[in-house]
Amino acid sequence: MVNLLYLPLAAGVLSLFFAFYKFKWVGKQSPGNEKMIEISSAIKDGSMAFLKQEYKVLLLIAVAVAILVTLPERGFLKLVALSFGVGALFSGLAGFIGMKAATNANSRTTEAARQGIVPALRVAFNGGSVMGLSVVGLSIIGLSGLMIIYTKFFGADIVSLNDTVIPILSGYSLGASLVALFARVGGGIFTKAADVGADLVGKVETGIPEDDPRNPATIADNVGDNVGDVAGLGSDLCESYIGSIIGAVTLGGTIGNAELVYLPLIIAGLGVIVSMIATAFVRTKEGGNPQSALNFGTIGAAVVMVIASAPVILFLAPKTFIAGGQTYTNMGIFYAIIVGLLSGVLIGIITEYYTADGKKPVLDIARQSQTGAATCIISGIEKGMLATGLPVVMLSIGIYVSYLAAGLYGIAFAALGMLATTGIQLAVDAYGPVADNAGGLAEMAQLPAEVRERTDKLDSVGNTTAAIGKGFAIGSAAFTALSLFVAFKEKAGIEVIDVTKPIVVCGLLIGGMLPYVFSSFVIGAVGRAAFKMIEEVRRQFRELPGILEGTDKPDYVSCVDIATQAAIKEMVIPGISAVVIPVIIGYAAGPEMLGGVLVGVTVSGIMLALFMANSGGAWDNAKKYIESGNYGGKGSEAHKAAVIGDTVGDPFKDTAGPAMDIVIKLMTIVALIIVGNIS
Amino acid sequence: MVNLLYLPLAAGVLSLFFAFYKFKWVGKQSPGNEKMIEISSAIKDGSMAFLKQEYKVLLLIAVAVAILVTLPERGFLKLVALSFGVGALFSGLAGFIGMKAATNANSRTTEAARQGIVPALRVAFNGGSVMGLSVVGLSIIGLSGLMIIYTKFFGADIVSLNDTVIPILSGYSLGASLVALFARVGGGIFTKAADVGADLVGKVETGIPEDDPRNPATIADNVGDNVGDVAGLGSDLCESYIGSIIGAVTLGGTIGNAELVYLPLIIAGLGVIVSMIATAFVRTKEGGNPQSALNFGTIGAAVVMVIASAPVILFLAPKTFIAGGQTYTNMGIFYAIIVGLLSGVLIGIITEYYTADGKKPVLDIARQSQTGAATCIISGIEKGMLATGLPVVMLSIGIYVSYLAAGLYGIAFAALGMLATTGIQLAVDAYGPVADNAGGLAEMAQLPAEVRERTDKLDSVGNTTAAIGKGFAIGSAAFTALSLFVAFKEKAGIEVIDVTKPIVVCGLLIGGMLPYVFSSFVIGAVGRAAFKMIEEVRRQFRELPGILEGTDKPDYVSCVDIATQAAIKEMVIPGISAVVIPVIIGYAAGPEMLGGVLVGVTVSGIMLALFMANSGGAWDNAKKYIESGNYGGKGSEAHKAAVIGDTVGDPFKDTAGPAMDIVIKLMTIVALIIVGNIS
């Protein structure tokens, strides 16, 4: 049976080779003229400098967390620390590779855009694919590799090792989550501080255009796209992907059936292969719509995945299995995958409705911007709050139906269904910042306007795909958190976590509060970092008046340094709190209260994540709608109001919001690891 | 034993007489000159017109709700409808009396302020006292009266009637909650629409001062203070007060001890007497600080209450009693009261820290306003989110300690401890809008500047007391909701509500989402109503240019009408949803999911209420801080940014935020009433 694990391992290795091939291919394209190479190098150096600083701090924190979490463990359970280390390393590596590829691809995309949109799309997407395929490849190699080693080491069947091997594996998920949280928070603070700083002083105060090379913060702004949207995103999806597999593996172990333990890995391996094939679907012809190419890739992958998983499940999973006293069939698992995919897609479509250009909510916000910033902000908050409604209903239906289909195991598989094709989804997501950077390079290197137009076209698409990606992120986080939480309860040996018990209510209240306090820290951090950036840009303009006349060269490096220092400093407290709080509550108040805290964090965190993502996205597009010439266009009073809305939304949608999903899972996995010692 | 109920009944009657005496006393004071009487009449007429319209709609809704909730009940349980009717009537009456008294007191306070601050404080506070004492008097008369009638009618001891009488009484709480929710939402929409409309067109666009008689919305603005801050507040606190008593009565019935059923009413009756006495504590001398007078009244009342309740509890409650398998002593009940009061005061003090002028959070927001509206808004959101932290910790400690002291009954008594002296607290709260109106009258009647200065001084105090009042409101809502929720579970006959069950998780998610959607509706309603108001004021200025020159009289009535129509129309959907949703979920999905929904609403609602109240309050005071001459003072860029912050905060702190507490309890009480039919 254990030999089955070599299949996902092989898929992972194949995926890495494929990613390496794409990486080399991108490297062979022309990086453009000297000016472009110079700017691109500055972006690359800034990004790598940030990552180096971040990983140094992370190494210290990871060692501390490894000790904190595993010190009280007994005997073999100390291997949790090994799994943790591998998870952290691979998650960090995923971010690193993705950024390396993205910063290689940016100037090459710009250069390709001189020829046309077809070659530019190919370079940008291949750049993104490197990260997508590396993330899934590394994740699955690590997980199946560790399982192979541990089962050999303990020399027994996986099911009889349910109490040792599977808990050890959760360390792998913890490592990935920890790195992901820091990458998201640190990268998110960096990118928004640089963005706000560059915009407020450059665009608003000085009146120079976006990405103008005279703006000292412009390189930092482009670095931000890489450290936030590429490295942060890569570690984030790596975390989700691993979490969903571990959730299903753990519940399979609880059922006590070896096939059900291996099945999630096999399905994930299948998803890796499907993602590789689907990268070939993404192509367009000159004059064609790059959006359809991207949609064809991701939706095509999902369809192929569903079709291909049916025979695998029917062949591999037992015809019937018993969980929680109920009998389920293997078809149930298949249905759960479909339910997961459907609810993810629906949540994504609803999210798109609330945030997309041309739809009523965004038009409303744009209209309300005419009466000033106050009505613009109020309207955005109103829409964002309303946008929690339908997605949560979809989520609840998804949870319930997948539970009916295959019990708690079905809930875990619903998450897996959404994330099995992470490889291609992430490739599309990472393509975005590459195209964004390529546009910045075209501007800074003063290339002909048609080049910028082409990169802008590449940049503007992918929103639908990104929206569906967001739906998958939030949906899978809820499903995964729930399956990990059930595993927590079973390991804690408590029958029920009863919300009419005061201790559980206290936990729920405290848990419900934590996402607010966490968001407060992160939003405040963006504000503080942006403030420093604004002061630095103002200082440079003041002390070197030649910058604006083009006679002095701005000091890009100092802006990158300021954002780096601020982001690294500010990410530590919220990041560490997410690990330490469940440990403290677990040891001080026991598993029941901790259970309440986890549920509170999940419920409150999902709502805040949806609210912040939707408000932020809607403000952004309302601003763009006005910029495209409505209500007076750029420079009008309505535009000024909408810019304020967009600035408020920035830390919502790109820093605090996306970190919430990780916080939820990180806290649950910490609880799952320490539960053996607190109950 | 049942004769004990005549004690609270007598206290209630006494309280009404006292309120009537104060009402007459206020009426005897001089209402000022002709101009003042004219304006005051306009405010009074507008307020009464709104209330009349609102109560007409409410009557229809109340009949529908009575049918909806009680139709499926069997036999005597139809009496729920009677209790419901009495509760709704009394809650409405409380709002009506309070508004009558407040609109009588406003011009008389202005007139008294010509003499000095001492007589002005006396008139304003006596005006507020009429409402405070009427609310508690009516509440307790209704509740003890119904209990006397029902126990006589069924002709048996209260404990053996635990399954009939006590459920019937919960209808009383439902009636009060329903009216309170509509009063809060309707009044809140009216007052903020008028406020925003008057400010944006009058102060910002036209540049005339606040309360200028040339502003057509100025009467509507003053009417808003009455319908929102007086009538809305009165029904709200009436609801909280009744809810906390019913919670304790229900749990006393569950324990199966008659003394524990009567005790909450006796303690409430004692609180009424203490409140009456404490009104005499509120007095100051010329040059003295009205703030200390108010603090002396409320804090004095709380101290007297604690001291007086000890002998009552020791004499009346059984020495020991058994609840949930644990033995508790009567001293435990006394400790629970102290815990409740302490946690309420601490939450209030923390809330004050986050929102008060001169404290770090407000100073931070003011400072961040220098870099524009975006940083002002971000900073306010950050502080508001952070401000959920400590109050929730206090709340959790309060819940746990009061549970240790006297079990679930202790939790209910902690709420009662906070609310026993509602009479005096409400008097202080209602004093605020009277002083506010008095200032408006001084301005509109063009009285000497010193009169306005004195009323401003009266208006500016009472913030600390109001902050503690808010702490009590949110704290008691949590305690009461929890005790009602436990009663729900016991009546549902379900052993536990286990959050690891998917159906409960679905309920939690949907419940957690509802406060967001509710807030979205309410915030949107304020925006829509304000928009109509802005258009009307602009229309009048455009069509009658003589208004600004003082030659034409503005049409105040049309502004009042517009706010009235909009508020009435907009309050219906959110108000009805809060009743209908638990009914639908209960019948469609059963008590377990409904239990999950209630918990989700409570957790998410408390967080949103704290967040919105604190952000809104902090923005308001940051604006005031700048207006007092900092960062450039009035008219500076920082001031403009802070005004935007304040406008965003208005619907947060005065409409959506305060309604949240009522929504939580209303949904729980609806669940408690229908649970007999769904389990």
| Contact yes or no for B439/B360 (Cβ under 8 A) | no
H helices present in B628-656, as ranges: 637-651
Domain count for chain A, please give it.
1
- Give the orientation angle of helix A556-627 with respect to helix A463-492, to 10 degrees: 110
Task: Give pLDDT, residue A272.
Answer: 94
Contacts of A392 in chain B (CB under 8 A): 509-510, 512-513
Where residue A38 falls among pLDDT bands split at 50, 70, 90? confident
The Cα-based distances of A280 to A277, A673, B489 in angstroms read: 6, 40, 56
Contacts of A603 in chain B (CB under 8 A): 508-509, 511-512, 600, 603-604
Three-point CA angle B667, B672, B673, nearest 5° = 100
Phi, psi (degrees; rounded to nearest 5) at A301: -60, -40
Chain B: nearest CA to A301, how far in angstroms?
29
- A451: enclosing H helix or E strand: helix A449-460
Q: Residue B489: is its pLDDT beyond 90?
A: no
* CA dihedral sign, ordered A578, A581, A586, A587: positive
Is A100 inside a domain boundary? yes
Q: Residue A378: is its pLDDT beyond 90?
A: yes
pLDDT digits (tens, 9 = 90+) for A327-337: 999 999 999 99
Nearest CA in chain B to A515: B385
pLDDT digits (tens, 9 = 90+) for A412-423: 999 898 888 888
Nearest CA in chain A to B386: A517
| B651 contacts A386? CB cut-off 8 A | no
pLDDT digits (tens, 9 = 90+) for A532-584: 888 888 888 888 888 888 788 888 888 888 888 888 888 888 888 988 999 99
Q: Which of B189, B200, B499 to substitute to test the interface with A, most A CBs within 10 Å?
A: B499
What interface predicted TM-score (ipTM) does this complex get?
A: 0.92
Contacts of B339 in chain A (CB under 8 A): none
| A498 contacts B498? CB cut-off 8 A | yes
Is A205 inside a domain boundary? yes
| A607 contacts B513? CB cut-off 8 A | yes
Chain B: nearest CA to A253, how far in angstroms?
18
A498 three-state secondary structure: strand
Chain A: nearest CA to B534, how far in angstroms?
10
pLDDT digits (tens, 9 = 90+) for B401-459: 999 999 989 999 998 988 888 888 888 888 888 888 888 888 888 888 888 888 888 87
Contacts of B589 in chain A (CB under 8 A): none
| A604 contacts B604? CB cut-off 8 A | yes
Q: Residue B603: is its pLDDT beyond 70?
A: yes
| A373 contacts B508? CB cut-off 8 A | no
Comparing CB atoms, the residue among B379, B399, B499 nearest residue A599 is B499
Per-residue pLDDT averaged across B579-607, rounded?
A: 93
Phi, psi (degrees; rounded to nearest 5) at B361: -60, -45
Task: Give pLDDT, residue B674.
Answer: 83
Task: Give pLDDT, residue A507.
Answer: 95
- A321: enclosing H helix or E strand: strand A320-323
Three-point CA angle B63, B69, B72, nearest 5° = 120
Amino acid at B66: A
Per-residue pLDDT averaged across B326-350, rounded?
A: 90
Q: Residue A391: is its pLDDT beyond 90?
A: yes
- Across the A:B interface, residue pairs with CB atoms under 8 Å apart total 221
- B323: enclosing H helix or E strand: strand B320-323
* Distance in angstroms (rounded) separating the CA atoms of residues A510 and A603: 12
Q: Which domain holds residue A202?
A: 2-492
Half-sphere exposure of B301 (CA within 13 A, CB side): 32
Q: Residue B163: is its pLDDT beyond 70?
A: no
Comparing CB atoms, the residue among A375, A511, A651 nearest residue B527 is A375
pLDDT digits (tens, 9 = 90+) for B648-671: 998 998 889 888 988 998 899 888
Name the DSSP letter for residue B157: -
Per-residue pLDDT averaged across B258-280, rounded?
A: 91
Task: Give pLDDT, residue A542.
Answer: 87
Contacts of B510 in chain A (CB under 8 A): 392-393, 396
Instruction: Calculate the dihedral angle through the C-alpha atoms of B672, B665, B350, B338, rounding to the nearest 10 degrees.
Output: -50
Task: Give pLDDT, residue A161.
Answer: 64
Per-residue pLDDT averaged across A273-281, rounded?
A: 90
Task: Give pLDDT, residue A662.
Answer: 87
pLDDT digits (tens, 9 = 90+) for B200-237: 787 777 778 777 888 888 888 888 888 887 888 888 88
Chain B: nearest CA to A25, how far in angstroms?
44
Per-residue pLDDT averaged across B298-308, rounded?
A: 89
Is A354 inside a domain boundary? yes
Is A677 inside a domain boundary? no
Task: Give pLDDT, residue A76.
Answer: 58
- Mean residue pLDDT across chain A: 87
Where residue B2 falls among pLDDT bands split at 50, 70, 90? low
| A604 contacts B509? CB cut-off 8 A | no
Where residue B241 falls among pLDDT bands split at 50, 70, 90? confident
Amino acid at A4: L
Task: Give pLDDT, residue A74.
Answer: 59
| B489 contacts A516? CB cut-off 8 A | no
Per-residue pLDDT averaged across B167-196, rounded?
A: 86
* Distance in angstroms (rounded) separating the CA atoms of residues B594 and B591: 5
Amino acid at B664: I
- A329: enclosing H helix or E strand: strand A326-329
Nearest CA in chain A to B377: A648
**Tokens of residue B631, six digits:** 């960062």
| A393 contacts B502? CB cut-off 8 A | no
| B503 contacts A385? CB cut-off 8 A | no
Task: Give pLDDT, residue B311.
Answer: 93
Is A628 inside a domain boundary? no
| Contact yes or no for B419/B185 (Cβ under 8 A) | no
Name the DSSP letter for residue A655: I
Task: Give pLDDT, residue B541.
Answer: 87
| A611 contacts B378? CB cut-off 8 A | no
Contacts of B411 in chain A (CB under 8 A): 502
DSSP3 helix / strand / coil % (chain A, rounded to 5): 85, 0, 10
Q: Which of B109, B78, B140, B152 is nearest to B420 (CA)?
A: B140
Contacts of A499 in chain B (CB under 8 A): 497-499, 504, 595-596, 599
Contacts of B513 in chain A (CB under 8 A): 388-389, 392-393, 607
| B395 contacts A524? CB cut-off 8 A | no
Half-sphere exposure of A447 (CA within 13 A, CB side): 29
pTM of the model: 0.93
Residue carrying the six token digits 């949103």: B608
Q: Which of A346, A379, A377, A342 is nearest to A364 (CA)?
A: A379
Comparing CB atoms, the residue among A393, A395, A499 nearest residue B499 is A499
- Three-class SS of A16-78: HHHHHHHHHHHHHCCCCCHHHHHHHHHHHHHHHHHHHHHHHHHHHHHHHHHHHHHCCCCHHHH
Comparing CB atoms, the residue among A506, A517, A647 nearest residue B389 is A517
Amino acid at A161: L
pLDDT digits (tens, 9 = 90+) for A579-603: 899 999 999 999 999 999 999 999 9
| B606 contacts A604? CB cut-off 8 A | no
Name the more confident of A216 and B70.
A216
Name the more confident of B161 and B677.
B677
| B386 contacts A521? CB cut-off 8 A | yes
Q: Which of A250, A378, A510 to substitute to test the interface with B, most B CBs within 10 Å?
A: A378
| Contact yes or no for A175/A87 (Cβ under 8 A) | yes
* Distance in angstroms (rounded) separating the CA atoms of residues A69 and B416: 43
Where residue A280 falls among pLDDT bands split at 50, 70, 90? confident
Task: Give pLDDT, residue B74.
Answer: 59
Q: Which of A498, A513, A538 to substitute to test the interface with B, most B CBs within 10 Å?
A: A513
pLDDT digits (tens, 9 = 90+) for B516-559: 999 999 999 998 888 888 888 888 888 888 888 878 888 888 88
Residue carrying the six token digits 């409740």: B340
- Mean residue pLDDT across chain B: 87
Q: Which of B491, B500, B532, B664 to substitute to test the interface with A, most A CBs within 10 Å?
A: B500
Task: Give pLDDT, residue B463.
Answer: 59
**Tokens of residue B7, six digits:** 């004690």
Comparing CB atoms, the residue among B388, B497, B509 nearest residue A395 is B509
- A675: enclosing H helix or E strand: helix A657-678
Is A620 inside a domain boundary? no
Percent of chain A scoring above 90 in pLDDT:
31
* Distance in angstroms (rounded) separating the CA atoms of residues A178 and A346: 29
Where residue B64 falls among pLDDT bands split at 50, 70, 90? confident
Name the DSSP letter for residue B78: G
| B375 contacts A508? CB cut-off 8 A | no
| A411 contacts B502? CB cut-off 8 A | yes
Q: How many CB atoms lie within 10 A of CB B326?
A: 12
Per-residue pLDDT averaged across A257-263, rounded?
A: 88
Q: Residue A393: is its pLDDT beyond 90?
A: yes
Q: Residue A467: is its pLDDT beyond 70?
A: no
Task: Give pLDDT, residue B509.
Answer: 95
Contacts of B651 in chain A (CB under 8 A): 378
Is A608 inside a domain boundary? no
pLDDT digits (tens, 9 = 90+) for A423-447: 888 888 888 888 888 888 888 888 8
**Tokens of residue A474, six digits:** 């939030």
Where residue A401 falls among pLDDT bands split at 50, 70, 90? very high
Residues near A248 by beta carbon (within 8 Å), at least 6 away in sequence: A263, A264, A409, A412, A413, A415, A416, A483
| A599 contacts B604? CB cut-off 8 A | no
| A482 contacts B599? CB cut-off 8 A | no
Name the more confident of A521 and B74.
A521
Phi, psi (degrees; rounded to nearest 5) at B116: 165, 180
